[in-house]
């Protein structure tokens, strides 16, 4: 059975069938919820315009995201650059601070005036050296003058001999122990001076009560050398650290990378002349170290960070 709304909507269609020229749209009627025709879709021009706008928007987003990624990479490289420069500076602070006898040890012997301490020969095993009143020191060393280092590194480096008080500041594992000579040699037991000898020990925790009473420590030797950038596999400029072997016969191991990207490393000795610095005083001779650290990998917007510091010898 046809409803009233269906009859109303069919009348224009019947008329259109009788008169081909007449095309009428179906009237809207209250209560009718359907239509015979749907709205027309987008034209080709509209679709092309929409696609063009979408591509432009995607291009803008891609360019903006590229700038953000580039800015993040630059910020990350700058932070890493500052961190490596700070690490090198902190490492120098630690090794230089211990490149001398502890103050309480020096108090055992009354020495008039302060004299510069030169480190012992790096190619001579410490246990073969005689007892000494003072150990530790800093010096510039050319590997040509050190046969034990020439086959491992080449150039001028920074040689450091440091003394670590035990057990507070040192590793009590195997290594060279500095022990008061009177604890191992009765001939110097009655001497007014306190001198120390170096002994290789498998465990520095077993030095005995005598050494623990007077003071004992650990003797370590370090050699820092700079390697410039090359065109090979390891092309980056690096600061390298070399230490003696911990087993077998005495000798130095291969240099290991301490810091990468150290583009510049210059060491210049400075001697201050004047009456304010007597010939036998500390502070008269200094070492100026200039270093610069570049980004890793190198980036054009980032300049190398430089630092200059003075070391008292």
Per-residue pLDDT of the chain (313 residues; tens, 9 = 90+): 545 455 445 455 445 445 455 455 555 554 544 454 445 567 888 888 888 888 888 888 887 777 777 777 778 888 888 888 899 999 999 998 889 888 777 666 554 444 456 789 999 999 999 888 889 999 999 998 888 887 767 889 999 999 998 888 888 888 899 988 888 876 665 566 778 899 988 888 888 888 878 788 899 999 999 988 876 556 788 999 999 987 778 889 888 999 888 888 999 988 876 555 554 455 568 889 998 888 776 666 677 888 888 887 7
Which residue shows structure tokens 């080449």? Answer: 154
The β-bridge relationship of strands 285-293 and 262-271 is antiparallel
Q: Dump strand ranges (E) for the chain.
A: 137-142, 156-165, 175-180, 196-201, 217-227, 238-242, 256-260, 262-271, 285-293, 305-312
207 phi, psi to nearest 5 deg? -95, -15
Is residue 63 classed as helix, strand or coil in its secondary structure?
helix
**In this structure, are residues 161 and 221 in contact, taking their beta carbons and an 8 Å threshold?**
yes
Against a cut of 0.85, is the pTM above it? no
Cα 22 to Cα 9, 10, 12, 19, 132, distances in angstroms: 15, 14, 9, 5, 124
- Taking alpha carbons only, the member of 167, 188, 192 closest to residue 177 is 167
Rounded CA gap, 156 and 7, in Å?
108
Rounded CA gap, 85 and 261, in Å?
9
Tokens describing residue 53: 């706008």
Give the other-Cβ count within 10 Å of 101's Cβ.
24
* Sign, CA torsion 15/17/21/27: positive
């Amino acid at each position: 059975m046809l409803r009233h709304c269906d009859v109303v909507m069919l009348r224009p269609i019947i008329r259109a069938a009788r008169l081909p020229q007449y095309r009428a749209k179906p009237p809207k009627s209250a209560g009718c919820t359907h239509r015979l025709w749907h709205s027309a879709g987008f034209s080709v021009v509209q679709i092309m315009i929409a696609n063009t706008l979408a591509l432009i928007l995607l291009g803008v987003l891609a360019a903006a995201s590229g700038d953000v990624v580039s800015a993040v990479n630059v910020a990350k490289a700058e932070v890493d650059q500052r961190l490596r420069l700070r690490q090198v500076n902190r490492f120098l602070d630690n090794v230089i601070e211990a490149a001398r006898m502890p103050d309480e040890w020096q108090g055992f012997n009354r020495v008039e005036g302060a004299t510069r301490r030169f480190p012992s020969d790096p190619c001579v095993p410490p246990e073969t050296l005689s007892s000494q009143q003072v150990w530790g020191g800093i010096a510039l060393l050319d590997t040509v003058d050190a046969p034990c280092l020439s086959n491992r590194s080449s150039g001028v480096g920074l040689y450091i001999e440091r003394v670590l008080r035990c057990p507070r500041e040192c590793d009590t594992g195997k290594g060279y122990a500095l022990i008061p000579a009177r604890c191992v040699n009765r001939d110097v037991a009655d001497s007014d001076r306190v001198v120390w000898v170096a002994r290789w020990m498998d465990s520095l925790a077993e030095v005995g009560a005598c050494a623990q009473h007077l003071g004992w420590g650990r003797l370590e030797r370090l050699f820092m050398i700079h390697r410039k950038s090359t065109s090979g596999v390891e092309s980056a400029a690096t600061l390298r650290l070399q230490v003696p072997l911990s087993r077998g016969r005495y000798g130095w191991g291969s240099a290991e990378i301490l810091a990468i990207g150290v583009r510049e490393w210059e060491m210049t000795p400075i001697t201050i002349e004047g009456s304010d610095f007597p010939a036998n005083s500390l502070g008269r001779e200094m070492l100026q170290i200039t270093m610069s650290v570049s980004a890793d990998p190198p980036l054009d917007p980032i300049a190398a960070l430089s630092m200059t510091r003075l070391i008292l010898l």
